[in-house]
Structure 1
Amino acid sequence: MTCMITALRPVDRVRQDAEPIAAMYRDMGTKAAEQVVNRALGELALTIATLSQQVKNRDLVDLPRRLRRLQRMSENLGMVSLGLVAADARSVFETGDTTAFAAIWARLLRVAERSLASDKDLLDQSL
């Protein structure tokens, strides 16, 4: 009997809302908003990298708090999908279901990568 192995390549649709960033540009002006948004995107990337290292090292003590922070940061930048997946990861982590957490964690990394890759598109939409 021959067994076929199928490689799954999940593609997550990334939803973004340009309004939070557009509001910053309207309220602060281009130069100030650009600085705030760039700083926030840098903090978001650093938070994801820190979370990733924590999960890799199985240092999970304050993981729910950090995931909640990631969720808030994402929402403030209009990264709808990333915020939702961060909330899902926190919720599942708190249930203790390690298999479900591993699956959602993998999804969070995919969505984070796509969200950060498209942050330039989001900035362009808000101008």
Structure 2
Amino acid sequence: MPRKTIGEIEFGKVYPMYVQKVEKKGRTKVELDEVIAWLTGYDEAGLAGQIAKENDFATFFAEAPALNPAADQITGVICGYRVEEIEDPLTQKIRWLDKIVDELAKGKAMEKIKRG
């Protein structure tokens, strides 16, 4: 079976891993949803809808209500790549999401995660 590209991975399959990661470090699903909303513009219903529709990451970001204009301030290394240097726009968005989830799990203040 051919390996899926990062954009073909179902968001709803990864989301529970995000929840598990942040909860294991003492953060909450509510906080996770807050940082996802900050990045993508999804409200609770929109996020649940993306999971229910079993959309992949490409669709998740294509249908995002409003990508935060401050997202390009997300910097650092995730999965061995500097997020600010990733050239593929979809891969960069996915890695931005990974980075802010990682920051949340590491206890970073919400204001700093939201670049505010």
TM-score by length of structure 2 reads 0.32
Pair member with larger Rg? 1
TM-score by length of structure 1 reads 0.30
